[in-house]
Amino acid sequence: MVKSLNKYLLLIIFILSCSSGGNSPTDSGDDNGGGDNTNPYELPNAVDYGLSNQVEIVTWNIRQFPQHSSTKDYVKNLMQKWNADIYFFQEMRSESELISMVDTMPNYSYVFDEESGNLGFALVYKNQYVTFNSKNELWADTPNNDDGDSDYTNNASYQFADRPPMENYVTWSDGTKTINLYLIGIHYKCCGDDSYNANDTGDETTRRHHASLLLTDYILNNRANDNVIVLGDFNNVGSQSITNPTLSPFTDQDSFDSASSFKLTDLSILEGPAGGYSWQGWSSSYSAAHLDHIIINQTMFTLDATSTSSVISLPSETGISNNNVDGKISDHQPVMYRFYP
């Protein structure tokens, strides 16, 4: 009888100990006890750049979005933290995934291109300030093949790697000030070097140079009196300078008359230390390079006086490692341009 009572007492003690405040083997305990109950997407280091009287524009090659199961959560929370008016994305692998993300962000709407295949463009804009008017995909009806002809106007789409520039006509207004903008989004051919050879029509740098010649000519002849912003991934590998053939029609006034009509808003980043570049090559054999740019035309020069251009550091904003940024979000960092209309 005593042995039976002892068994019952031991059983009761065991049950009480399991239901008490002690941690079970599967209970991680509180945050200081080795567990981690924090939300990785809260991003306490991310900065709110949005001001009601300021236009904020972000260009971001988002690397085959979404490349990881957590990509959408990171991107959504970063966008909401940054609070920018306009985002222009490159390398949209899945439109449906972006739609499902933006549909949970009631302050934003989206527009896609129709010609860039599985590495497409998306414009995401804040409804409170931005009205989308129209889009035009430049040279979309031209051949996309190397015809060996030095006349690059015959196959303009080929020069742009079959990713025709997406020209978006939008109106920004805060109720007091209003400005119309033509945002021309691009994603140039990758790789190669920085050597231009007009006779090598298949060379990557030659195609990028021709693409810039086409764009500068288009803007000067069709948008000279409009506010134009060219933005995206220029893939200007090699020398990080205004004489790089990919950028020179926009930037090198000593060689191109067109360059006096444009301004590289992020010039100080291009000419600055490599640690500030938009592409760091975290998992690549290539050296870091500033590949992502925002260029304005002459009509906007007066507005540029109070502007700010910056690369948004994803490791700093997210608090995760370079390799995790590369693998879960993108290998490119966003470039932001802010100005007062």
62, amino acid identity: I
pLDDT of residue 307 exceeding 70, the answer is yes
Q: Are 99 and 75 in contact (CB under 8 A)?
A: no
**H-only helix segments in the chain:** 2-19, 71-82, 95-102, 156-159, 204-222, 248-251, 267-270, 314-318, 322-328
What's the pLDDT tens digit per position in 124-140? 999 999 999 999 999 99
pLDDT higher at 145 or 118: 145
Query: In whole angstroms, how far apart are CA 36 and each of 28, 218, 285?
Result: 8, 54, 35
What's the pLDDT tens digit per position in 68-126? 999 999 999 999 999 999 999 999 999 999 999 999 999 999 999 999 888 999 999 99
Q: What is the mean pLDDT of residues 228-252?
A: 98
pLDDT of residue 28 exceeding 70, the answer is no
Q: What is the pLDDT of residue 118?
A: 83
Q: What is the pLDDT of residue 7?
A: 44
pLDDT of residue 318 exceeding 50, the answer is yes
Q: What is the pLDDT of residue 286?
A: 87
Q: What is the pLDDT of residue 17?
A: 42
What's the pLDDT tens digit per position in 261-297? 999 999 999 999 999 999 999 999 889 999 999 999 9
The residues spanned by each domain of the chain are: 43-339
What's the pLDDT tens digit per position in 321-336? 999 999 999 999 999 9
Q: What is the pLDDT of residue 27?
A: 29
The two beta strands, 166-173 and 228-233, are unpaired
pLDDT of residue 29 exceeding 80, the answer is no
Question: Residue 144, SS3?
Answer: coil
Q: What is the pLDDT of residue 125?
A: 98
pLDDT band at 45 (very low <50, low <70, confident <90, very high): very high
Q: What is the mean pLDDT of the chain?
A: 90
Q: What is the pLDDT of residue 9?
A: 43
* CATH of region 43-339, choose from 3.60.10.10, 3.40.50.300, 3.90.1010.20, 3.60.40.10: 3.60.10.10
pLDDT band at 206 (very low <50, low <70, confident <90, very high): very high
Q: What is the mean pLDDT of residues 161-184?
A: 98
pLDDT of residue 313 exceeding 80, the answer is yes
Query: In whole angstroms, how far apart are CA 302 and each of 50, 222, 307?
Result: 21, 20, 10
Looking at the chain, the whole-number percentage of residues with pLDDT higher than 70 is 89
Q: Are 107 and 142 in contact (CB under 8 A)?
A: no
Q: What is the pLDDT of residue 150?
A: 85
Q: What is the mean pLDDT of residues 290-315?
A: 97
Q: What is the mean pLDDT of residues 41-54?
A: 94
pLDDT band at 38 (very low <50, low <70, confident <90, very high): low
Q: Are 333 and 318 in contact (CB under 8 A)?
A: no
pLDDT of residue 22 exceeding 90, the answer is no
